[in-house]
Amino acid sequence: MKNLDKLSENELEQIFKIAFEKVSKTSIQFKQDTLLYFYAYYKHANDQSSLKVIHQPENGEELVNAFKANALFQIRGLSSRDAKIKYIELAEKYLGNLISDEVNHIVLKRKA
C-alpha cells in the first residue's frame, strides 16, 4: 500500500478502524507471531502499550503475557501514527484487496 504516510490523521484513523474490523472478523488463522504484531501495533496505536502487570497470571497466562510484552517492546520506538500504518500494512498483507479497496475509496473521496 502506498502513501499511507500522506493521509490526514482522520483518513488514517478511518482506515485503521476498517483494518481492525476486517482483521477481527476474518476467518483466516494467523500465525502466532503475526497475531502478536497485530496486538502490539493496535495497543501502541491506541496508547495502550504500557508494560504494567495488572494481575497475577495463571495457567500459562504468564507465558502469553511475556510474548505480548516482548512484542510491545519490539515496537516501542514507533509513534502512534506509525503503529497505525504498520497495522494497516500487515492487514493488507494478509487480507489484500479487502483493505486496499477501502484505502482507495477514502483517498478518492479526498481528491473529489
- Model pLDDT for residues 10-66, shown as the tens digit of each residue: 999 999 999 999 999 999 999 999 999 999 999 989 876 555 545 555 665 665 677
Cα distances (Å, whole numbers) of residue 31 to 28, 41, 88, 94? 10, 16, 17, 11
Domain count, the chain: 1
Which pLDDT score, from 0 to 100, does residue 53 have?
A: 46
CATH of the domain at 15: 1.20.80.10
Residues of the domain holding 32: 4-111
Q: What is the mean pLDDT of residues 92-107?
A: 82
